[in-house]
Amino acid sequence: MEVINKLVTLKAHMDGSPQESDFVIKTETLSLSAVLESKDVLVKNIYVSIDPYQINRMKSLCSSQTASGSSYAAGIAPGQAIDTHGVGRVVVSGNPDFKKDDLVVGRIGWGEYSIVKEGANLDKLNPLGFPYSYHVGILGVSGFTAYAGFYEICQPKKGERVFVSAAAGSVGNIVGQYAKLFGCYVVGCAGSQEKVDLLKNKLGFDDAFNYKEETDLKAAVAKYFPDGEMLEAAVANMNQFGRVAVCGVIAEYTEKGKRAAPDMIDIVYKRITIRGFLAGDYMSQFPEFISATSDHLKTGRMHSIEDISQGLESIPSAFAGLFRGDNVGKKIVQIADE
What values do phi and psi take at 162, rounded to 5?
-125, 130
The span from the CA of 214 to the CA of 212, in Å, is 6
In 261-319 the beta strands, taken as DSSP E runs, fall at 273-276, 306-310
Helix, strand or coil, per DSSP, at residue 161: strand
In this structure, what DSSP letter does residue 214 have?
A: S
Binding mask 27-56 for ligand NAP (x = CB under 6 A): ------------------------xxx---
**Identity of the residue, 229 or 232, whose beta carbon is nearer to ligand NAP in the bound complex:** 232
Q: Which of these ranges, 95-103, 118-126, 167-175, 221-229, lies near ligand NAP under the rule CB under 6 A?
A: 167-175
Look up residue 314 and give its DSSP letter: G
Neighbouring-strand partners of residue 309: 333
Residue 129 CA to chain centroid, in angstroms?
22
Nearer to ligand NAP, 201 or 240 (CB): 201
Residue 263 CB, shortest distance to ligand NAP, in Å, is 19
Query: What does DSSP assign to residue 283?
Result: G
- Per-residue binding string, ligand NAP, 53-72, x by CB under 6 A, is x-------------------
Contact 165, 238 (CB under 8 A): no
C-beta closer to ligand NAP: residue 67 or 268: 67
Cα pseudo-dihedral 141, 143, 165, 200, rounded to 10? 150
Q: Does the protein bind ligand NAP through residue 137 (CB under 6 A)?
A: no
In terms of Cα–Cα distance, which of 156, 176, 148, 171 is closest to 285? Answer: 148
- Contact pattern for ligand NAP over residues 179 through 208, marking x by CB under 6 A: -----------xxx--x-------------
Interface segment toward ligand NAP; rule CB under 6 A; list 95-103, 123-131, 164-172, 222-230: 164-172
Q: 2: which strand partners?
A: 31
Query: Cα(24)–Cα(319) distance, rounded to whole angstroms?
Result: 13
| Least distance to ligand NAP, CB of residue 124, Å | 23
**Cβ-contact 13, 78 below 8 angstroms:** yes
170 interacts with ligand NAP by CB under 6 A:
yes
Per-residue string for binding with ligand NAP, 256-285, x by CB under 6 A? ---------------------xxx------
Q: State in angstroms the smallest separation of the CB of 94 from ligand NAP.
A: 31
Q: Is position 250 an interface residue for ligand NAP (rule: CB under 6 A)?
A: yes
CB of 34 to ligand NAP, least distance (A): 33
Q: From CA 9, how far away is CA 76, in angstroms rounded?
A: 9
Contact (CB, 8 A) for 106 and 123: yes
Euclidean distance between CA atoms 159 and 182, whole angstroms: 8
Is there a contact between 281 and 274 (Cβ–Cβ < 8 Å)? Answer: no
The sign one gets for the Cα dihedral 124, 130, 132, 134 is: negative
Residues 75-114 that bind ligand NAP (CB under 6 A): none
Residue among 7, 35, 154, 171 that touches ligand NAP (CB under 6 A): 171
Instruction: Candidates 145, 294, 304, 309: give the one binding ligand NAP (CB under 6 A).
Output: 145
- Least Å distance, CB 256 to ligand NAP, is 12
Q: Does 323 bind ligand NAP (CB under 6 A)?
A: yes
Question: Looking at beta carbons only, is 92 or 236 nearer to ligand NAP?
Answer: 236
Smaller CB separation from ligand NAP, 208 or 297 = 208
Residues at the contact surface with ligand NAP, assessed by CB under 6 A:
51-53, 141-142, 145, 166, 168-172, 190-192, 195, 247-248, 250-251, 277-279, 322-323, 325, 327, 331
